[in-house]
Amino acid sequence: MWILKWLPNWIFYAILLAGIAGYLATYFMKFIPFVYVYRTTIQVASVVAIVLGTYMAGAISNEEAWLLRVAEMQAKVDAAAVESSKANNKIDNKIADKQQVYKDRQVVVRQYIDREVTKYDADCKIPTEFISIINKAATK
């Protein structure tokens, strides 16, 4: 409710108390001429003030409950973000380890190719074993 953001909460409680006080004043101060003459008007205004004050007090309570729930959910989101960060770090470490294994395997295969190329370089024949080794080096 936009009005709760602009006005302090105590104003609505004051309206509620003023409504109760005005309504009670019409019963206990019958002997005062002003109160007696405008008794019905004061009672109607007091009832309106009581209804408005009660409604806004409920709205204040509801707003506070929602703000509390939002704070709880934000705490859960923050905790989930921390857990997500930890899980992402684990995944990143596993990926880095696998990439290192692939790089190491490629180095071994390249060394093997360099060693074997000298055997077949003079004939200009490419054996199937050599093609399979190159393919193995290219795949992860």
Using CB atoms within 10 Å of the CB of residue 19, give its burial: 0 to 12 exposed, 13 to 18 middle, 19+ buried. Answer: buried
What is the tens place of the pLDDT at every residue in 1-31? 667 677 888 898 999 999 999 998 888 887 7
Q: Would the pTM count as exceeding 0.75?
A: no
- CA dist 89 → 26, 47, 50, 92, 94 (Å): 72, 62, 58, 5, 9
Query: In sequence order, which ranges of the chain are alpha helices (DSSP H)?
Result: 2-6, 9-28, 33-37, 39-120, 128-138
Into how many domains does the chain fold? 1
* pLDDT score recorded for residue 1: 63
- Of 35, 37, 9, whose CA–CA distance to 22 is shortest? 35
Q: Residue 104's domain spans which residues? A: 2-138
Distance of CA 87 to the CA centre of its chain: 18
Query: Which residues in the chain come in under a pLDDT of 50?
Result: none
* pLDDT score recorded for residue 88: 94
